[in-house]
Amino acid sequence: MIIAIIGSGGREHAICQKIYESKNIKKIFCIPGNGGTKKIAENIEIDINNFDKIKSFLIKEKVDLTIVGPEEPLVNGVVDFLKKYDLKVFGPDKYCSQLEGSKIFTKKICDKENIPTASFKIFGDIESSLEYLNKKSYPLVVKADGLAAGKGVYICKDYNESLVATQEIFAGKFGNAQSFLVEDYLEGEEMSYFIICDGDNYKFFGTAQDHKRVGEGDKGKNTGGMGCYSPSRLFNSDLSEKINKKIINPTLTAIKDLGTSYKGFLYVGLMIKNNEPYLVEFNVRMGDPECQTILPLLENDLTELIFNCCLGKLKNEKVNFSEKKSICIVLCSEGYPQDYKKNIVIENLDKLILKKNEYIFHAGTKIENNQILAFGGRVLNFISVSNNFKNSRDDIIDLINRLNWKHGFFRKDIGYKVVNK
């Protein structure tokens, strides 16, 4: 089987690695891939939003299955486009991708289906929001509508902070946002919950807890994710049943009522309080770095699972995960999430000897002149799977220290809520 994976981050490297471990794989292409995927696949330099060029390449190479990793091409309609040419592609269509692409679209579904979530109000300009923001009690949450790479959310402690948030949103910090939401602040603890769906049936696909803040103790600026652990300490069967009944089932029903069906991974971002789930957001793909943390625990053949999902045959599949504990720590470039240097050589990476159940997934790297260069803010993902979270974290920190990359930094407290508990 010939597989293509669209994307260039740590998530796509993790998917690529799991596909590489599958049976009957003849060839893997990564579009465009990164410095890590190049070792197990052929990287193809095509822009992820150049759908016509991607289509021509897939047809020319007789690709059997294309897996779309990141949200941007999904929201822009890559699945709809490729399916017009009878290409098999895994991911939700453009309409369903509004679950991530438009927070307002999602909130309207929540309103209609009585899905537990924060109370909200929508504004199309700053002026109309001022009186509302002045009267509200704080903290509250301001969110840019549209894609923001996990960073378009402000938790505001007072009126002045909310005003700065709205100004930054309309100044174009997160793309061309035409509107924003103001939400009540939800108290509790966050959990990421995943499913895989074939349009009619879905299966549980793991949980994780992400650490979004750049500083230890969950302080500092928001990032795309500094690390995470899986499974979440909050997960239990009673909670899972509530998530399915109160959030996932009514959402998928609402999507069907709107004339389509959801196919692909669905990331359900939750706030948990007293074992009750409240929806924070949907993402229409695997999370990053959650994907890198969860996939090493998956015991199924991922290619087979996704292929059967595309065929609508998920109902009879049994998705199995190891009971071990997985932690991912992200090594970032100095300065991230603000300005950071690019094209810095990462030495010693090829000299690191990994133990079984240790992984390094490349997130922001490229290869030039046989050297691995740091190209993004989040550069490398270090993952370890073991019988307990402490061992996993200790092993990763040892690996990063042995790499001794002087231009990077990482959080040493990832998983602090489960280590030594």
Return the number of other C-beta atoms located less than 10 Å from residue 311's C-beta. 10
Q: Which domains can be identified in the chain, with CATH numbers? A: 2-93 (3.40.50.20), 119-184 (3.30.1490.20), 189-310 (3.30.470.20), 325-409 (3.90.600.10)
The arithmetic mean of pLDDT across residues 196-203, rounded, is 97
Sign of CA dihedral 220, 270, 204, 309: negative
Return the number of other C-beta atoms located less than 10 Å from residue 318's C-beta. 8
Parallel/antiparallel/unpaired status of strands 65-68 and 89-90: parallel
Nearest to 262 by CA among 95, 15, 42: 95
Which residues neighbour 150 within 8 Å (Cβ) at sequence distance 6 or greater? 212, 222, 223, 224, 225
What are the distances in angstroms from CA 418 to CA 209, 237, 388, 392, 393? 10, 19, 9, 11, 11
Whole-number Å distance between alpha carbons of 260 and 253:
10
Query: Over the range 84-93, which residues count as b (16 or more CB within 10 Å of their CB) and which as e?
Result: eeebbbbbbb
Residue 368 confidence (pLDDT) above 70: yes
Report pLDDT for 179: 84
Residue 150 confidence (pLDDT) above 60: no
What percent of the chain stands above pLDDT 90? Answer: 85
Which range (149-153, 166-170, 328-332) has the least confidence? 149-153
Report pLDDT for 170: 79
Report pLDDT for 421: 59
Omega into 70 within 30° of 0, i.e. cis?
no
Write down the pTM of the prediction.
0.93
Residue 148 confidence (pLDDT) above 70: no
Residue 149 confidence (pLDDT) above 70: no
The arithmetic mean of pLDDT across residues 339-357, rounded, is 93
Report pLDDT for 196: 98
Q: Which residue has the higher pLDDT, 173 or 143?
A: 143
The number of residues making up the chain comes to 421
Nearest to 27 by CA among 54, 50, 4: 4
pLDDT, one tens digit per residue, over 29-53 is 999 999 999 999 999 999 999 999 9
For the record, the structure tokens of 19 come out as: 């596909």
The mean predicted confidence, pLDDT, of the chain is: 94
Report pLDDT for 129: 87
- The DSSP H or E segment spanning 184 is strand 180-184
List, in sequence order, every beta strand (DSSP E) within 284-368.
325-333, 344-345, 358-362, 365-368
Report pLDDT for 75: 95
For the record, the structure tokens of 268 come out as: 């359900």
pLDDT, one tens digit per residue, over 294-317 is 999 999 999 999 999 999 999 999
Which residues neighbour 254 within 8 Å (Cβ) at sequence distance 6 or greater? 109, 112, 113
Return the number of other C-beta atoms located less than 10 Å from residue 202's C-beta. 21
